[in-house]
A and B are shown apart, each in its own frame.
Chain A
């Protein structure tokens, strides 16, 4: 695969901004959705921009991910046939979640041009807001290729930081003082050609660097999963892991894949247990923790989204109690996805396992002793 190499002179974000300017001025897209620093300077929010002059406000690759891009996109509402084309500047995990939402009719992908950027990781949002300057410096160092401290645990174990497990229209890689821009779909190629950014430069050095980094991350991921495997072992492993949970449901609210209009556990018809039942159960067991739906909430959410979990870390970032919820979901998701040979967000056409039935699944289940 070939691409266009663009020199980075005044930092990666500056080069990315001028790249976005060229794409918006190409006339092939009508608006750009990109992160921008909020006025106080302490965090970032999504902006929809139609005027190329205002792209200077954006930080295409920010040091934090306060609102997952797919979550932001699905909040726009989806409308097939909308003539406005939007260029969405996303981290790979945000684009993967977007593709999963598109499979569930929560995003209308025909109107979107997804652009992903090699992601160095993100810092915990709360840490960042307390010391934005310090983290900005760290992030700049990381973009220049050094500085590996303070990242969110999910980012350190992320092997999908480049374009290998995601299907964007355009991908932007980062390598030694340069960006490499490549089209991944016909739509992406059309936009790049109109902006005169299609290129035929050799990019094998970038590929080699990505492969090397992937190997490092893979080791970190294996370590993280081994740790999670041990922590969740035994009858009360999961109980202990989630013990600090205060039922705030923040993890559900920020999760890009949790797309229900209203969570069952927030609803008036919630499966809450009557006082008499609590008392009856307390009598059998001697004691009972309540509210009782904490474990059910986490397990229910896990069941609903494990196949599509892209391990973006948004849930853990939003948890006020530092429950390792994202690391748990990433671990479970990885195993469930492996069972079905499914990689969320990798392929727009790949059907979700939930919507397909293959006869051999039944036999695999029988062979595993499931039908005894």
Chain B
């Protein structure tokens, strides 16, 4: 039977000066569990690795204990050495006698005693190590895009155009259904015709699990069918919500006839818009910056939308008087400024206010405002149209929870880095585009969609392979009572309950080997492959001595 080899690393003077390694070697040898103890000056050096490889090979060890530094530093180093001479890397157990003994415990005798206990623990546990198999899976090159507004449709279109399979999920109640915002209908149609694109409208995303190369979206379709969509990366384009002015009586929204929002007219491109009043409309006030104070930021897109609306109104009925009330005009870039000038040239008036209020005035409405110079004034109009800001959608928190994403103080998705990786997130393989990451103009949205499509296409090349975690959990059917504690304890959605067989099942691809299920399981049915009850018991018993 192949024995256990114990190697003690001196780490130069680091360990040798603070721990009596000869004493450790002598005591462990007396226990009779190891075949041989050898010490070496610096096992991680090229000479050290060569010595280790030759020694393991020469003695034909089945298990090896290396007492050296932190496994964080050199576990992989020694595992590679083992693999190089045909020993399964899981048969190695490291003991950290540098950081946890030599550097921590000043008294040499105490440090030696501590090292001895830890070495004994490792020797006892390594006897029960099994060879674990390294599995690889091929990365899934498919992409799932969540949200079917301008951003989502554009990203999906570009990805499919490059020959990659894409699933577009229009999410119910998010304002990001295909065609729900200004996503051009012909592009949605084009996508539906594309054999590489699958468009699911009106879905609810129940869960998103997994990691770069292997995500699973658990989705309920509009037909109430529960489906699983597998993809290698996820693009979130879940949109945002318009600020709701109904809670602010000063705007009269929802209370006075003739008060509407710009968004309500966004798609009424032909003819005169219905402005919420039966009266003939000869004068209209457009109020900017609605919600800005409450939201705490300038949404940046509403000024252009408000002017666009005013121009459409002027074009359909040139005799209508249109006045835009603004606190600030947000006109970045060359084009926006020109757009503003042209709007003025069309006869739209612009009035800057400090404060503004909409009130009933006879049959019509009055916009009472405090002008820039502090004077108060009032303008009688037939209709008022509010340019409201943009706020984060309520589903952002749900998706952030599912994918471990960060949200900013306003509830929008955070970039991995605002400059270096604006459409990427802290979770590899997950991208955010469009107004779910903050208010954005249509052209910005299209640029973001293109950027995300490029990132996805270049990072996730078909055929790319991925090594799975080997130190995962497993469930012994014979011991499992199907109580479901492990299902609740799993943070990765990797453990599910097979209701037909009444046992828990571990998905090896999703399992990250945290061991929560094993800790929750009372019967030992769920066990971590390299922290089995027996291994832990052996280890703890020796440490407590």
Contacts and interface: CB of A to CB of B under 8 A. Distances in A.
Given A105-B484, A261-B478, A355-B485, A271 B522 contact: no
B523 A263 contact: yes
B481 A267 contact: no
Interface in B474-504: 478-485, 488-489, 497, 502
Given A105-B482, A355-B489, A304 B545 contact: no
A305 B523 CA distance: 12
Contacts of A269: 524, 533-534
Nearest to B520: A354
B537 interface: yes
B481 A106 contact: yes
B124 A354 contact: no
Interface residues of B, number: 27
A240 interface: no
Interface string B519-545: 010111100000001100110010001
A216 interface: no
A280 interface: yes
A262 interface: yes
Interface residues of A, number: 24
A260 interface: yes
A281 B538 CA distance: 12
Contacts of B545: 281, 284
Nearest to B534: A271
Contacts of B368: none
A280 B538 CA distance: 13
Contacts of B522: 259-260, 304-305
Interface string B174-203: 000000000000000000000000000000
A77 to B, nearest CB: 10
B485 A104 contact: yes
Contacts of A354: 485, 488-489, 520
B32 to A, nearest CB: 7
A262 B523 contact: yes
A304 B524 CA distance: 11
A276 interface: yes
Contacts of B520: 354
Contacts of B534: 269, 271
B481 A259 contact: yes
A276 B32 contact: yes
Nearest to A267: B524
B33 interface: yes
Contact of B523 (A105, A264, A352, A355): A264
A281 B31 CA distance: 10
B187 to A, nearest CB: 43
Given A269-B533, A284-B545, A260 B485 contact: no
A240 B164 CA distance: 70
A84 interface: no
A355 B480 CA distance: 17
Contacts of B33: 276
Contacts of B485: 104, 352, 354-355
Nearest to B545: A284
Nearest to A351: B488
B479 A271 contact: no
A304 B124 CA distance: 26
A75 to B, nearest CB: 12
A352 B534 CA distance: 28
Nearest to B523: A260
A280 to B, nearest CB: 6
A233 interface: no
A271 B536 CA distance: 9
Nearest to B537: A271
Contact of A259 (B32, B483, B502): B483
A256 B31 CA distance: 43
A313 B482 CA distance: 26
A277 interface: yes
A273 interface: yes
A261 B524 contact: no
Interface string A181-213: 000000000000000000000000000000000
Nearest to B127: A274
A305 B483 CA distance: 13
Nearest to A264: B524
Contacts of B484: 104-105
Nearest to B544: A281
B479 A260 contact: yes
Interface string A319-349: 0000000000000000000000000000000
Contacts of B482: 105
Contacts of B541: 273, 277, 281
Given A104-B481, A267-B479, 17 more contacts: A104-B483, A105-B502, A106-B481, A106-B483, A260-B479, A260-B522, A261-B478, A261-B479, A261-B525, A264-B523, A264-B533, A273-B541, A277-B538, A284-B545, A305-B522, A354-B488, A356-B488
23 contacts: A104-B484, A104-B485, A105-B483, A105-B497, A105-B502, A259-B481, A260-B481, A260-B523, A260-B525, A261-B479, A261-B481, A262-B479, A262-B523, A263-B523, A269-B533, A271-B533, A271-B537, A280-B31, A281-B545, A352-B485, A354-B489, A355-B488, A355-B489
Which are the 8 A-B pairs with shortest beta-carbon distances? A260-B523, A355-B488, A271-B537, A104-B483, A304-B522, A264-B524, A105-B483, A261-B481
